[in-house]
Amino acid sequence: MKSQHTGHGWSAFSFVGDKWHRILKEDCQRYLKNAYRVLLTRARQGMVIVVPEGDEHDHTRKPGYYDETYRYLQSLGFEMLD
């Protein structure tokens, strides 16, 4: 599963077969949101969030999936590692 920031908020996706599918059921979206909340609140020593680089040749890693999320996290003040 993944979440993607779109300029209008977060969208939830799951990987089925060879494609990402948007999660539309509200209870499934809440479950995913809570899973991320638990992960983010358990990091006591620090944490690294990886936003993969997109790849135009890989339909599962289109740059549009990741670029907006990267820019959003950067705008929040996340430290970017090289």
Percent of all residues in the chain with a pLDDT value above 70, rounded to a whole number: 94
pLDDT for 2 beyond 80:
no
pLDDT per position as a tens digit, 8-46: 778 888 888 888 888 889 998 888 888 888 888 887 788
Residue 61 domain flag: yes
Range of the domain at 23: 2-75
Beta-strand relationship, 2-5 and 10-16 = antiparallel
pLDDT value for 75: 92
Q: Does a structural domain hold residue 81?
A: no
Domain membership of residue 82 (yes or no) is: no
Question: Does residue 5 come out as left (phi exceeding 0), alpha (psi in the -120 to 50 range) or beta?
Answer: beta
Please give the pLDDT value at position 77. 92
| pLDDT the model gives residue 27 | 93
The answer to whether position 12 is within a domain reads yes
> What number of helices (H) and strands (E) belong to the chain?
2, 3
Residue, of 74 and 45, whose pLDDT is higher: 74
The stretch 51-67 carries a mean pLDDT of 85
Tokens of 2: 């993944």
Domain assignment present for 8: yes
Tally of domains in the chain: 1
